[in-house]
Each structure stands twice: as C-alpha cells, then as structure tokens.
Structure 1
Amino acid sequence: MEYNKIRLMIITQSEGGGLRRYITDVIDGLDNSKYEVALVYNSDYGDQKFKDWIQEKQNTHQIKLFDIKTFVREISLVNDLKTYRFLLQCIDDFEPTIVHVQSSKAGVIGRLAAKTKRIKQIYYTPHAYSFLSPEFSSIKKRIFILVEKIFSRYFTTFTFNVSQTEKEAALEYNIDRPNKFVVIPNGIPPLKRNYRSYAQDEMKVTDNEIIIGNVARFSNQKNPQLFVSIAVEALKQIKELKFVWIGSGELMNKMQLLVKKASIEKSFIFLGDRNDAEYLMDGFDIYLATSNFEGFSYSLLEAARAKLPVVAPKVPGIIDFSYIYKKTYLFNLHDSVDNICSLLYKSISDLDNPIEANILFSYEDMIDKITSYYEKKESYI
C-alpha cells in the first residue's frame, strides 16, 4: 500500500446497469499516480460487463477488491450485521482516507461503518432517492426520508446528486442543509467510431424501418408496460416501426406475453442483456424512455451521444437531462397513450429536419468535479 497516495474506498451493493457504469467510469477516470482504490461489492449482483471489468482489474492488480456475499438487496438483520462487521474489517485492512458509498442500501451500512472507523471524508451518491419511487407506500417513504435525514446530517461529508431535481427533492424534504449537496451530472466518454451498421445487423433491421428503442431493466421503475402500450398504439398508425428493448428483469416474461397477446411480435424485438448495448444504440432512430423516476440515466446520455431524439417522461432526472440536451420531447406520465404517441410521431417527423444538439456536460467534467471534492482537506462532519 502506497501511503503517499489518496486511498479511496468505493462501497456498493449492486453492480448492474447505470450504477455499474458510474462506478467503473469513476474508477477508470482516476489518475493512478494519485489514487489507490478499493472496491467493496457483492459479485452475485454484477452484470456480465461488470464481471469482465473486474477480471481485467484483477489481471492488472489495479484495485483492491472485497467481495461480501452477505451484502444483499433485501433488508436482513442477520446479513446486514454480517456486512457491517465485514466492512469494518475492510476499512481496517485498506485504511482509506475517503469512503464513497453508492445507492441507498450501501449508503446506510457503508456510512455507518465509515463513521464508526472515524473516516473524515464520507461521500454518498444516491442514484435516485428511494423515497422518490411511486411504488412505495407513504409509510415506507416517511421511513426512507427519516433514514436519509439521519445519515446525511451525522454520517456524510457531501452528497453527490446526479441531477438538480434530485437535490431539490432532498431540500424539499429537509434532508440536510443546502451546502451538503453537490450536483454532479453523469458523463460518458465518446465512442471511437459509428456502430450503426453493426447494430442493424445485430437487430436484423433495415434502413427502411424506424427503430424505437430503450435500454433498461424490465422493472416497475422503468415502466415497460407503458412502452408496450405505446408500441401497440403507434403500430396502428405506422407499420414501418420496430420497437426494441435491450435488458432483462423480473417483468420480462410478462412483457413478452403482452406483446404476444397484442399480436405485435414481428415488430417488437427483445434483445435481453447485452454487453454491447451502448453500441447497439447507434442503430436506433428514436430513444423512448418510460421510467417512473430516474437519477441521471446513462442510457439517456448514450442516446444523446448517438444524437437520437429522446421521447421521455417529465420526471426527476429526465427533466435535468432535457436542460442539457435539446432533442428531448417530454410527456407527463398521466398523459393518455394517444397523446404520448402524438409526441412520438412529432419526433419521427423531425428526423427529416434534424436538430443539431450536443450534451453539455462531459465525462471529463464529471471526473474533475468528483476529484475536486475527493482532494479537499477539510472535514464537514
């Protein structure tokens, strides 16, 4: 261990989708001459792209890894206590100067362990607060808000919000004083080439078809039922449409049954989990998001990088995205499917008159802003 370096420990319970992308991009963006990094995680929750990344890091010995099998998504007093004790051992072993926890479950146990070990710099990235999710009851939301208040006020140096609306939600519910929250939008590096031909071959589509896609988990948060409903209605008007969903999840079988019941199987492509999803997006013509809530979606950033029109709901996270990407068409989640389809048709008609728009916050900006806080010397807790 090199004690002249900044010793950073990142703690996460899940390593799939956007959360995986954030963790790997942040670690890959750090200057190896200045940082020594440890990652605490549960390998059972990593997607294939994360597992490949971990293997690369193991081969090159670039980071120290702590794999905690009791670090599970569900609340479990036995497993959570074991995880807490293991985290204390990890901190003793690595001796970090900074602990950065990711998402709500790791946010609680990780911050508690770091505070117990008197770590001076403890950072938290919620990736969309749990209390913003419409799937939880009002009682659960009040509990989540109380937990966030306690841990922000007594266990956190700064919270990194990935969107302004996420920060505003924290302030609305009086989670902590305003100067404890820092907005750092996600950013992604550019692709080295265009992958449209490759993507069309993989999806088995042609230039004569209009490809409307989404990259997300089949979960209640991502609202795939609405995506299928839009597909059913839009295909009544435009036969050349193809709808593509990249991803898997607990609702996938249900969505496949809905597609079959609507007799649109020939126009709906389920690609499942793909390591090349960001490249396949070059084969889309429109990006259609249907999420009930978001942090600051990496798939939206990838859509912007591909210069796609984005049709998406007016919810926290996506609202912020629309501020930095002009080719965004917003609808309300309570809008009728007919009205959403009208907005989709407008985005399709605008394909003949493309709006030149670039994302306004870069990957380098994200890394620079995060490391500027990592390298602060003073403590606020």
Structure 2
Amino acid sequence: MSLTSLPERPRIACLITNSAIGGAQTHVADLLRALHGQADVTLLAGGDGPLFDLADELGIPAIRLATMDNALSPVKAVAAMRELIAALRDTAPDLLHTHSAKASALGRIAGRLLRIPVVYTVHGFAFKPAAPWKQRTVARITEWVLAPFTCQFICVSEAEGTMTRSLPVRADRVTVIRNGIADVPRRAAPGAALRRIVTVMRLAPPKRPDVLIRAFAMASLPDCELVIAGDGPRRESLEHLAGQLAPGRVRFAGSVSEIPALLASAQAFMLASDHEGFPISVLEAMRAGLPVIASALPGIWEQLAGGRCGTLVDGNDPQAFASALERLATDARQRIAQGQAARAHWEAQYGLDPMVRATWAIYQKALADRRTIDNRVTAS
C-alpha cells in the first residue's frame, strides 16, 4: 500500500514482549509488512517465534531480547531493561512503537531515558475489573506512573480508550484505532452441516478454553468436533479436561500457521475470555464469514455490533454457550445469516489499510512533537 511519506525516512523500532503466535503478534506482523519500504524498521522481541521468521523474510533487522519475557520478577525486569537500552542505543530509532504490557512498560522507561518518543498500542489493559485484584492493582499503578512517558496511546477499542482517558494523559495523546486485518481468499461455508467448531487462542489467562470445552460437552452435537488452535501453559490440564468430558471430540491443533484455512473448514467460531481488547481471532472469523459465539466483553461487543453480527454470551456461562451452539446447530439459515453479517461488517470496518493509515498518522504526530521539542532544546 502507498503511505504518505514523512519529510525524512524515519527509523522505527517495534517492540513486543514475545514473538510467538497471538493477536498482538499478528498485529505487529501486519505493521511490519505495511511499513516495509516506507520506513527503516527494526523488530525487538523476546522469545523465538515466527515474528523473527517474518522479519528475515522481509529483510527487516531483528534483535532477539534474550531476557524479555512475561515473568514478573524484578531481577528479570532489570536485566531486560539493560538489554533493551543497549538494543535501542545500537539501532537509534526516531520512534519506538510498543506492544504488550511488559515490553510497553520497559519500553516507555527506556524511551524516557534515551529521549525516544514512544507510541504505545493498548491491546488490552490488565486493570479491567475482571482481572485478579493483585494483577489489577499492579497494572493500574504501573499505567498511571508511565502514562506521562507515553507520547501517543493507540487504543484498539472504545473501551480501552475510555480506560486510557482515566489515566493522567492529555486527551490529544489518545486515539482509538480499531484492529484491522488484510483480506484472504478463503471463505467458510457455515450453511453446511455443523461438523467443526473452531477457537483460536493462547491457552493461558485471560482466555477461557475450559468454558468452551464444558459447553461443547454439554451441547448435543454427536457428529461435531471442537478444534482448539493455539498453545500455552494450560494445555496439559485442558487436554485432561477434554478427555474426561468429551473424549475423542476435542482436537488440540497447537500453533497453526494457516489459520484462514482452518477457519474455512469450520461452520462456527467460539471465543471465551475473562477480558479482551479487540481480539484478532474474532476478526479472522468474521473475515471468513463464520457465525461467532463469544463472551459479551466491551471490545467484542464493538466487533459484533452489539450482537447483530454474532451471539454474545454473558458471564462465561458454559450452559449459555452450549445453548447458543445448539441453536446454531439446528438452524443453517441462522448460521448463514450471521456469517454473512459478520463478513459484511468486517469489510466495512476492519480492513488493514485504514488501520495502517491511521497508525502512520500517529507516527507523523509523534515525530513532529519530537522535532518541536528538539528545536526548543537547541534554541535554549
């Protein structure tokens, strides 16, 4: 795509805690593809996931941060900070764009120390009411302290925008840019007999695959399988639960590289979670033309247009999910109608190009602010 050029070709570092497969990682991958050729981009990430493969494919420099992970250890955080500062000194970016909680916290501190403006994409704050109180308290304090270090906030939903505005930050530094994804040729056929239900998620909190397994076991769907794409620390316990409740009918597919193909083979999609921002997996299901059954969380409510493009379930109640599944199983016309509505809404609202253009505009604003500050320092 063609992006409006800045006066100078900017150097942009994209920082994320983990390079493994996930919604935030998919978002970063889309940005790397879009920015390639328009800016000098560097990927900074922990782990050893497919984001590094993509960077190599695109010819984008990438630095693996060996000490960057999701651990809450202060000792590890100090080590990760030192490694990050060294990487930023080596790459000397004009702008740092951070994703995910830990990388964004450390990135904003490093940005302040090195005088690099930081754009922070909020994929989902951890101080939502549904989060455990300790996590919620720590996250709230952290975001409150670091808000002044943030040049621009990008919020993926109106709900995240509202939470951001509760922090000590100027209104002109908060912008809602909903996630968008590129189109693919594969489409589902939800009108066919319900034989496969798919969910895509990391098998760790706040996701609730246990709710989906229980709901699937409760529903009367003898000729149907539930496919869980994704991996994580809860996989073993979830496999045990599935073996008890629905033996031989729940398939754990692990990390799937061809998500569009998997979704195209299904007739319905489900997602249960305790809290979310604006999940990419729901957008992928909508793009495929699948009926969606998902937790009635603010970001998902926005995605599904208040339930006009899918079924919203309150309270992560397995029986409510099961009832919604049974209704879809016996009504092919409803599956088709919901799938068509979801696809049409995705086409109208959640394509990749509008998201990238809006993000580029935020970069322009952040870089202009930096030039203004640099000029003032030089003048003084």
The superposition leaves residues 210-238 of structure 1 with CA deviations (integer Å, 9 ceiling, x where unpaired) of 31110112223111110111011103xx3
How far apart are 1:272 and its partner, in Å? Answer: 1.6
CA–CA distance in 1 between the matches of 2:307 and 2:364?
30
Post-superposition Cα deviations, 1:266-288, rounded to whole Å, max 9, x if no partner, equal 32222122111232111111111
For 2:353 and 2:306, locate their aligned partners in 1 and report how far apart those are by CA, in whole Å.
16
Match of 2:77 in 1: 80
Which residue does the alignment assign to 2:3?
A: none
Q: Which residue of 2 aligns with 1:28?
A: 33
Cα displacement string for residues 239-275 of structure 1 (whole angstroms, at most 9, x for unaligned residues): 232211111211111122112222x223222212211
2:304 is the alignment partner of 1:322: yes
Q: Aligned ranges for residues 183-194 of structure 1 at < 5 Å?
A: 183-194=176-187
What is aligned with 1:373?
A: 362
Find the aligned partners of 1:28 and 1:211 in 2 and give their Cα distance: 32
Cα deviation, residue 75, structure 1: 2.5
Tell me the residue number matched to 1:347.
328
1:260 aligns with 2:243: yes
User: Aligned in 2, Cα 1:334/1:305: closer, same or farther, shift over 3 Å?
Assistant: closer
Determine whether 1:362 maps to 2:351.
Answer: yes
Equivalent in the alignment of 2:287: 305
Unaligned runs of 5+ in 2: 1-6, 374-380
- Is 1:290 the counterpart of 2:301? The answer is no
Amino acid paired to 2:314: N
Question: Which residue pairs with 1:203 in the alignment?
Answer: none
Query: Distance between the aligned counterparts of 2:73 and 2:319, measured in 1?
Result: 44
- C-alpha change, 1:52 and 1:340, in structure 2 (3 Å) is same
Instruction: State the shift of 1:364 in Å.
Output: 0.3
> For 2:129 and 2:23, how far apart are their aligned partners in 1?
17
Residue in 1 that maps onto 2:376: none
Give the superposition deviation at 1:28. 0.4
1:135 Cα offset (Å): 4.5
Task: Give aligned-pair identity as a percent.
Answer: 24
Distance in 1 separating the partners of 2:19 and 2:291: 28
Q: TM-score, normalised by structure 1?
A: 0.86
The letter for the 2-side match of 1:163 is S
In 2, the alpha carbon distance for the partners of 1:272 and 1:326 equals 31
Give the aligned residue type for 1:143. V
**What is the deviation of 1:133?**
6.9
Q: Secondary structure at the match of 1:333?
A: helix
**Contact 1:165/1:319 (<8 A) preserved:** no
Distance 1:338 1:73 in 2: 33
Determine which of 274, 277, 281 is the counterpart of 2:259. 277
In 1, Cα distance between the equivalents of 2:31 and 2:306? 21
What is the aligned residue count? 355
| Residue 338 (structure 1) aligns with | 319
The verdict on how the C-alpha distance between 1:83 and 1:269 changes in structure 2, with shifts beyond 3 A counting, is closer
Contact 1:303-1:310 within 8 A present in 2 as well:
yes
Q: Alpha carbons of 1:167 and 1:349: their partners in 2 closer, same or farther (altered >3 Å)? A: farther
Cα gap change, 1:110 to 1:312, in 2 (>3 Å): same
The separation in 1 between residues aligned to 2:277 and 2:105, in whole angstroms, is: 18
Partners of 1:43 and 1:268 lie apart in 2 by: 28
Distance 1:157 1:151 in 2: 11
SS in 2 for 1:115: helix
Which residue, 232, 236, 247 being the options, matches 1:249? 232
Give the AA of the match of 2:138: I
TM-score by length of structure 2 reads 0.86
Question: Which whole-Å CA distance do the structure 2 matches of 1:257 and 1:334 have between them?
Answer: 20
Shift of 1:208: 4.5
Q: Which one is further off, 173-182 or 220-229?
A: 173-182
RMSD: 2.5
Distance 1:128 1:112 in 2: 20
* 2:29 counterpart of 1:43: no
Residue of structure 1 aligned with 2:169, choices 168, 176, 190: 176
Aligned to 1:151: 146
- Moved beyond 6 Å, runs of 4+: none
1:325 to 1:100, Cα distance in 2 relative to 1, 3 A:
farther
Question: Are the counterparts in 1 of residues 295 and 314 from structure 2 also a CA contact under 8 Å?
Answer: yes
Separation of aligned partners in 1, 2:146 and 2:331: 47
1:125 aligns with 2:121: yes
